[in-house]
Every structure is written in structure tokens, then in C-alpha cells.
Amino acid sequence: MARGEGAEQYSNASLLQKPSPDGIKLAAKCESRSRLSVCSKLCYAIGGAPYQITGCAIGFFLQIYLLDVALLDPFYASIILFVGRAWDAITDPTVGFLVSRSPWTRFGRMMPWILLSTPFAVLCYFLIWYVPSVEQGKVVWYLIFYCSFQTLQTCFHVPYSALTMFISTEQKERDSATAYRMTVEVLGTLIGTAVQGQIVGMANAPCISTSEELNSTDLLVASTVNITGPHASLEHLRNAYMIASGVICSIYVVCAMVLFLGVKEQKETCRVRTEPMSFFQGIRMVMGHGPYAKLVMGFLFTSLAFMLLEGNFALFCSYTLGFRNDFQNILLVIMLSATLAIPFWQWFLTKFGKKTAVYIGTTSVVPFLVSVVLVPSNLIVTYIVSFAAGVSVAAAFLLPWSMLPDVVDDFKVQNPESQGHEAIFCSFYVFFTKFASGVSLGVSTLSLDFAGYVTRGCTQPAEVDLTLKILVSPAPIVLIIIGLLIFISYPINEEKRQGNRKLLNEQRENETDSETDSTELNVV
């Protein structure tokens, strides 16, 4: 149904049907139920922290961990990173489809997925940061537990993302809850960076200075040598990674319990439910909705830019800039800045619109990506640039999830007879981003292998330095430009968003009146 036809239908219906007193009471009850307390918003927001804490630790540290701690060849490390992310991307639409088919329970439809996946997810996450004693089985070990964790985390995050549509029916309340969520999620990245970076940073293993190519056997022998300097042994560094993962697992469990106990999932009894659709019908449905496809493709490229930066920034700071002992503090500054900037971007998108916020927020990082490569290496300058870049990182966190509910609402307006597909929209939204992330991490790690990356080397060849510069500056800038060009055709501006909100409110009022009339007839 076209938007104009839908507007005419609902407007005519609202004129022909005068709300009954019972209908008004029921509508008032639904409206009061849609309002969220600050406590509910905070509990909901805390539920988003585990995804960002673990994602930040993996995004910033897994590549350097596989190369310099697990001592894997860059080729095998690239396979693990690519396969893990690609598998994660595949599980998103699958889990979204299963969630959409899940029956309602007394805990809700999303909450059981969140609760049951948590203990298995934290176990797999912990084992990702353990180095098995069998040298030949390392690749298989990391593939199994990395893919298993990504699957279980998807069982948590997809229902949690869809939960946005079930905590309230009001756009204003959902936007407010999303702002709370993004603030906590960026704070989660700050916690993930602080816990992983500071614990690991205190146990920084020594680099190895040699002009000859080192193999894994040489490095294992070197790691057994007692070192009496300020640095710890490689074994000490491995233990530090396990301690950090244990702390993060504890936080994961606490956040999941706060979400489960503090948020009540609303069952929308006034909404017409459609028959369950097949997996491929779901794909055709969501990708056939133009605004959704443009939103996904736009954020596909802009998110890919930030993921490429995230995955290589630790190596860039350690080797290209020469801040091997300070990179964890630089990452902490970026995340702290992003946390502080979330309220600003929430105010900005409310004042000037979400589409404007995308252009301003995303492009603001470009000057800093250029300066971090061109300006001579200086720790103070790097801290300043990192703090400024964190402001743009905040926009990259907030805007995608703030705009997704608008697209889902637009779909409901144009397809009033097809409802209850929020989990499918959320899962495919994450699918493309994660798949692209897997490609970017795999390609970047493989590029370092071709450039001649030296595992745990104090210095790297000039080709590696050039590769890292490309991966953290020109490549992200090109991806950002492509994403913004796609956003030009994104059709949901503030005017259309408010129009959709009005139409949906009219639809709910009409459904409320119909339900009231049906109840009165049954009583008679």
C-alpha cells in the first residue's frame, strides 16, 4: 500500500469512527503504559553494554593478540578473523528469523533468548583468550570458540535490538531509551578498552629486535627466556589476557541480569499479527523496502570505515607511531571522548534532524584521520587528535540504531497488514555490517602478511608502516564518502518521520476502538 493511500485510509477511518468512552480509557491506558521511567530506560540501556564491551575488546585487541600473543601466522589470523565475522553475519538473519517465530512466554518473546544465551556466551568468550598448549590445534581452537561466541552473542543482541520496539509504542520514548542505550554502550566500549587495555598494558611483553625473519618456533624459545627488565614474559602477558577476559565475563553476566530483572517486555495485544513467513520471504520483505535498503547500505560503508580503523589502530599506534607502551591509553581517550559526546549528538539530532546529524557527525572524523597520518609522531598531538576523533565515533554509535526504528515505522505505515517483523529488520541490519567487518579484518590482516609483518618485532618493514597508514586513513575516508553519497537518497527526513508517527497513532486509536466495540458486542 502506498504511503498516500495509507494516509487517506487512516484519516477517513478516524473521521468516520468516533472513539467510545471505553476506547478513550483504553487508549489512555496504552499511552501511560508506553511511558518509560528513568529506571526502566537505564536497565534497558545497561543490557547493551555486554555487546559493546566484548566487541570493543575483540575489535581492538584480537588481531594483535593472535599475532603477538598466540603467535599465529598472519595468514591464519586473517582466516580466523574473516571466518568468525562471516559466520557471525550468517547467524544474524537466522536468529532473527527464529526470534520472529518464537512463542510468547510469561517473560516475553525476546527475554528468554537473552537469558539462556548468556552463560554459554561468557564461557566461549573466556576461551577465546586462552592459548592452548597444542601448537597444531590453535587455529581450530580459535575458530571454534570465536564462531561459537559470535553465535551466542547474536542470540543475545538480536532480541535485545528488537526489544526497542517492545518497550514502548511512542517514538519519543524509544528515541529517549535509544539515547540512554547508546550512552551506556559507548561507556561499555570505554570499560572494555580500560579493562582489556590497562590489564594487558601492565603486562606488556618485550618485543624482539632482529634483522632476520622470525618463525613461531624461535618466538616460543624466546618467550621461555627469563627477562629481568620492566617488561613481563610472554606467559605473563597471556595470563593478563585471561584475567581481563574473566573481568569482562563477570560484567557481561551482571548486565544481562539487570536487563532481565529491570525491563518488562510489552505484548502488543492491539496489533494484528500476520502468519509466520519463511526465511527467504523475510529477506525479500526487508530488502524490498526502499528506505531500509538505503539506510543499511549507507551505514554499511560508514560502519566499515570505523571498523577498519578500530581493527588496525592498536597496530598503527604500536608500530607506525611508535607508542607501543601507550596505545591502550590512546584507545581509552577515544572512548572517553565518545562517551562524553553522546548527549551532544542526541541534542543535535533532536534539534537539526537525524539525517543532518549523519553528515556532520560522520565527516567530522575526516580531518583527524588525515592529521594522524601526516603530522609527525608526537604523543601529545596524538592524544588531542584521538579525543577529537572520539566525538565522531559517538555519532557512529548513536545514529544507526536511532534511525532504525524510523524505518520500521515507515514499513508499518506502508504495510499495515504485515506486522511483527521487528527482529527480522534488526537482524538483517546487523548482518551486512558484520559481514563487511569480517571482510575488512580478513583483508587488512592478509595485507599485513603480504607486506612482511614481523610477529612481535620491535620495528616493522616500511611496507607494513605504509599498509597501516592506508588502513587507518585513506581507506576509511573513501568508505565514508561512499556511505554519505548513498544517504543523499535516504527519504525519511523529519517531516516524513513526524507524518509516520501521526499515522501510526491514528492506526492504534482505530484498532483500540475496534477492540472496544468487539468487547462490547461480546458482552451484549
pLDDT in tens, 277-332: 565 676 677 778 888 888 888 888 888 888 888 778 878 888 888 887 777 788 78
- Strand partners of residue 208: 457
State the DSSP code for 101.
T
Which of the residue ranges 23-37, 300-314, 365-379, 506-520 would you say has the lowest mean pLDDT? 23-37
The DSSP output letter for 26 is H
With beta carbons less than 8 A apart as the criterion, state whether 303 and 436 touch: yes
pLDDT of res. 255:
92
Least confident of 151-160, 216-225, 252-261: 216-225
Using DSSP, state whether 102 is helix, strand or coil: coil
pLDDT of residue 145: 93
pLDDT at 4 (0 to 100): 45
> Cβ contacts of residue 518 below 8 Å, gap of 6+?
none
Distance CA 306, CA 433 (A): 11
**Cell 499495515 sits on residue:** 416
Q: How confident is the model at residue 19 (pLDDT cuts 50, 70, 90)?
A: very low
Residue scoring higher pLDDT (29 or 109): 109
Beta-bridge mates of residue 457 = 208
Report pLDDT for 106.
78
Confidence band for 503, pLDDT divided at 50, 70 and 90:
confident
Is the Cβ–Cβ distance between 461 and 192 less than 8 Å?
Answer: no
Q: What is the pLDDT of residue 461?
A: 86
Rounded mean pLDDT, 228-241: 69
pLDDT at position 508, please? 64
Distance of CA 373 to the CA centre of its chain: 27
What pLDDT is recorded for position 326?
Answer: 79
For 279-294, the DSSP string reads HHHHHHHHHTSHHHHH
Longest Cα–Cα distance of the chain, Å, equals 92
Please say if the pLDDT value at position 521 is more than 60: no
Contact between 358 and 484 under an 8 Å Cβ cutoff? The reply is yes
> What is the model's pLDDT at position 308?
83
pLDDT class for 275, splitting at 50, 70, 90? low
Query: So what's the pLDDT on residue 292?
Result: 86
Instruction: For 168-177, write each residue's pLDDT tens digit.
Output: 767 677 777 8
144-158, 322-336, 457-471: range with lowest mean pLDDT: 322-336
Whether residue 423 is predicted with pLDDT greater than 70 in this model: the reply is no
Rounded-to-integer distance, Cα 299 and Cα 430, Å: 10
Q: Is the pLDDT of residue 10 over 70?
A: no
Do 468 and 312 contact (CB within 8 A), yes or no? Answer: yes
* 445 CA to centre of own chain: 21
Contact 124, 145 (CB under 8 A): yes
Whether pLDDT at 473 is above 80: yes
The whole-number pLDDT of residue 34 equals 59
How large is the average pLDDT for residues 261-285?
Answer: 64
pLDDT band of 225, cuts 50, 70, 90: very low
Q: What pLDDT is recorded for position 215?
A: 47
Which amino acid would we find at residue 49? A
Q: Report pLDDT digits (tens) over 374-416.
A: 887 788 888 888 888 888 888 877 787 788 888 888 888 887 7
Q: Evaluate if residue 230 carries a pLDDT over 50.
A: no
Please give the domain boundaries of the chain with CATH numbers for all domains: 36-207+232-267 (1.20.1250.20), 277-492 (1.20.1250.20)
State the pLDDT at residue 119.
Answer: 93
Q: Which residue has the higher pLDDT, 292 or 201?
A: 292
The lowest-confidence range among 76-85, 431-440, 499-508 is: 431-440
Whether residue 422 has pLDDT greater than 80: no
- 48 has a pLDDT exceeding 60: yes
Lowest-confidence region among 20-24, 107-111, 135-139? 20-24
Is 166's pLDDT higher than 70?
Answer: yes
Measure Cα distances from 280 to 283, 287, 292, 436, 508 in Å: 5, 11, 17, 21, 29
Q: What is the pLDDT of residue 249?
A: 93
Kindly indicate the confidence band of residue 485, based on its pLDDT and cuts at 50, 70 and 90.
very high
Bridge partner list, 108: 105
Whose CA is closest to 165, among 147, 177, 153, 149? 177
pLDDT of residue 149: 93
Q: What is the per-residue pLDDT for 142?
A: 92
Give the distance, in angstroms, between the CA of residue 21 and the centroid of all CA atoms in the same chain: 45
What does the alpha-carbon distance between residue 281 and residue 287 come to, in Å, rounded to a whole number? 10
pLDDT at site 2: 40
At residue 205, the pLDDT reads 58
Query: For residues 279 and 92, which has the higher predicted lDDT (pLDDT)?
Result: 92
The per-residue pLDDT for range 128-138, each reduced to its tens digit, is 999 888 777 88
The cell for 256 is 544481562
310 vs 224, residue with greater confidence: 310
